[in-house]
Chains A and B, each alone.
Chain A
Amino acid sequence: MEAVGGVLFSGIVLGGMYALVAMGLTLQYGVARIMNLAYGEFVVAAGFAALWLFTAAQVSPLLGLLLVMPAAFLLNLMIYRVLLLPLVRRARSPGALETDSILATFGLLFVVQGVLLAAFGGAYQNYSYLSVPIGLFGATVTANRLVALLFAAAIGTALWLWLARTRAGTAVRAVAVNPEAAQLVAIDVRRVAALAFAVGGAMVAAGGVLVSMFLTFNAAMGVVFTMKALVVVIMGGVGNLMGCLVAGLLLGLVETAVASWVDPGLTLAATYALFLFVLILRPAGLFGRPAR
């Protein structure tokens, strides 16, 4: 039986990756109120960007972040302005916006996937970067997973500091908590929402670049990431960064523990059972405020 230390460590590495991939969605959904079904396609797109930079231009993925993140920020800002703002304008209720954004981003999902297919084909992709063993706490992981985790932690901390310490970040948090009240204190809710969506997009891209260092992916795999991110965000409580982190880590730990001590065949069943169980006990997620 695997030692507790090893399981904890592997679990945290895996859970950190889940949290990383979900961080962007919690901004996009929690603040901008856009239920982005095309989320995972952007994860994969960033992965392809990293792959291309690495193989064609010999740019390391970590350096690539400096290119991919700003590009994703601009792209997502444009998507919000051009595609989503009309929906926000015409929505009469939060429910209506939710329905519209599901429909629109479902279309966007196909467009992005189609573009990726046309550009890169459907085959599996993988590249080798920092693929050296590192032994810690009785478990062996590859350096790329560890580096991804550290970068995720750094990016996450930066995001948290931005939200907690800056004026713009405070506005974002205010909109997440209560858009109507935010408007009363002279916050331009739509601008803030656009900003949050774009920052969320940059986070997605960071997640995609980092996971591409150690996962095999292809153009059809986006939906896997969308679903994982949705589960993490909802379990943590919509719009709550801390909830996202805790939920991601919990899922990673449960998955690793079940794989080591129970049966690897039940890992996904266990994570979904945990998710459903949390929602039954806390209908608004771990850190969410009760709705209505």
Chain B
Amino acid sequence: MTGFTIGRRAALAGAAACLAAPAIGRAQGTPAAVRIGYAISKTGPNAGGASITTIPNYELWVREVNEAGGLRLGDRRVRIEVVEYDDRSISEDAVRAVERLVNQDRVDFVLPPWGTALNLAVAPILNRAGYPQLAATAVTDRAPQLGQRWSNSFWLLGTGQDAGAGLAEVLGPAKQAGLIGDTVALVSVADGFGIELANGMRPALQRAGFRLTYDRSYPVGTQDMAPILAEAARGNPEVFVACSYPPDTLAITEQARVSGFNPKVFYTGVGTAFPLYKQRFGANVEGVMGVGGVDAASPRFQDYKRRHLAASGREPDRWASSIVFASLEMLQQAIERVGRIDRAAVIRELQTGSFDTVIGTVRLQNNLLTDTWVVGQWQDGEFYGVVPTRKQGARQPIVPKPAWRPT
């Protein structure tokens, strides 16, 4: 019995040591390394999005900074040391992991998790602890209020309203030019972003003089799109809009193609901008619109694309990937301008400064990045930004979209 007790106590002590280990042995004074931590969805339902948009960029950035000798603090270069966890796509785990990063590992900066829900879940902790939060993969209509509520938080991916209004900006003039009629079929996935996007679309389309012939949502995980597409295609709408998630985006496009559903404008949601989309549909992507876009002709993007491909073996997606990378460049420049680990000063710099990034020169307004691509279109095998039309690199939209070709 005695042996058992000691064994158990030793085990407990060992476990406690394991739990607390990363906190021990941290040098004071000028840092030997800048410690950067993140909790990201390596497993669970978010893993699909995180492993395409976020993880490759975090890894690419850290590698490039360290290959250059590290972050420049004053006249020294300091290497980045990474602490990473898996939040398993669960809010509670993300909260705990960030508490650990902040209070146990005492990292110098925290990179945000993937997705709207997890960014919101960890926002109060990062706010309380005074860490900057550059949310590059969260889309929420409340972004303006959130930026005010938590002055350390920055919301970079826009809102569903922006995206909805953006599409109306393409469709309105096309209707006036007589290129398309006024009928729209709208389907949306019954989940956060799908619904916000659809909510943004409805009023904007109505203002532009369109009427909805079909407007339904479907549950996350729907595996057969045939009946939904059949209903949406009834009455031959001129415009088809799907506020969808990656698996549905692929399934909807596939079903539209095989059933010969050829609206003049075909718009799908998250996933349209993924390289996987082009890989799957080849030349048939021509003319498909979706959320996001890039200024693909810019040398900065070309260079980024090449480095991303070399580092992760995959091309970046054409929506949030480059924004995630830009957020890291912003963080880096803010830290280097401040010249020391002073999070309050870094937050101030992010609020007011101007940054040179892969998506061009960025200056935040009220903690928001307002000037991003909201509508993109596949043209000549690349997903170009179309709206805002005044933005540099904006392409003219192709309307009507060419019909699906048999493969």
Question: Which residue numbers of A lie inside 8 Å of B, CB to CB?
Answer: 2, 6-7, 10, 13-14, 17, 113-114, 117, 121-124, 126-128, 131-133, 139-142, 214-220, 224, 255-256, 259-260, 263-265, 267-269
Contacts and interface: CB of A to CB of B under 8 A. Distances in A.
B228 A122 contact: no
B221 A268 contact: yes
Contact of A265 (B41, B218, B227, B274): B218
A264 B230 contact: no
Contacts of B218: 259, 264-265, 267
Contacts of B42: 117, 122
A124 B246 contact: yes
Contacts of B51: 121-123
Contacts of A132: 258, 406-407
A140 B231 contact: no
B219 A265 contact: yes
B229 to A, nearest CB: 9
Interface centre among B190, B230, B251, B255 (most CB of A within 10 A): B230
B250 A264 contact: no
B216 A113 contact: no
List 6 tightest A-B contacts by C-beta distance, closest first.
A122-B47, A133-B258, A122-B51, A259-B227, A216-B247, A264-B218
The majority secondary structure among interface residues of chain A is mixed
Given A142-B258, A264-B217, A265-B218, A220 B224 contact: no
Given A264-B216, A264-B222, A218 B48 contact: yes
A2 B47 contact: no
B50 interface: yes
Contacts of B187: 264
B194 to A, nearest CB: 11
Contact of A220 (B44, B250, B406, B407): B44
A6 B230 CA distance: 10
B259 interface: yes
Interface string B380-407: 0000000000000000000000000011
Given A6-B230, A260-B230, A267-B219, A122 B43 contact: yes
Contacts of B41: 122
A131 B407 contact: yes
Contact of A124 (B48, B89, B219, B226): B48
Given A124-B52, A131-B254, A224 B221 contact: yes
A54 to B, nearest CB: 13
A7 B227 contact: yes
B224 A255 contact: yes
B52 to A, nearest CB: 5
B280 A123 contact: no
A265 B258 contact: no
A263 B216 contact: yes
Interface in B272-288: 274, 276, 280-281
A114 B219 CA distance: 27
Contacts of A10: 224, 226-227, 230
B14 interface: no
Nearest to B232: A264
Contacts of A127: 280
A262 to B, nearest CB: 10
Contact of B260 (A114, A133, A267): A133
Contacts of B258: 131-133, 140-142
Contact of B254 (A113, A142, A256): A142
A122 B216 contact: no
A272 B50 CA distance: 30
B230 A126 contact: no
Given A122-B50, A259-B228, A140 B251 contact: no
Interface in B306-350: 314
A114 B42 CA distance: 10
Nearest to A256: B227
A89 to B, nearest CB: 27
B223 interface: yes
A264 B52 contact: no
Contacts of B280: 126-128
A2 to B, nearest CB: 5
B237 to A, nearest CB: 16
Contact of B226 (A131, A140, A218, A267): A140
Contact of B276 (A14, A126, A219, A263): A126
A13 B223 CA distance: 12
A132 B254 CA distance: 10
A2 B234 CA distance: 9
A141 B226 contact: yes
Contact of B43 (A2, A220, A259): A220
A216 B259 contact: no
Contact of A2 (B44, B190, B231, B281): B231
B190 A265 contact: yes
Contacts of A139: 226, 230
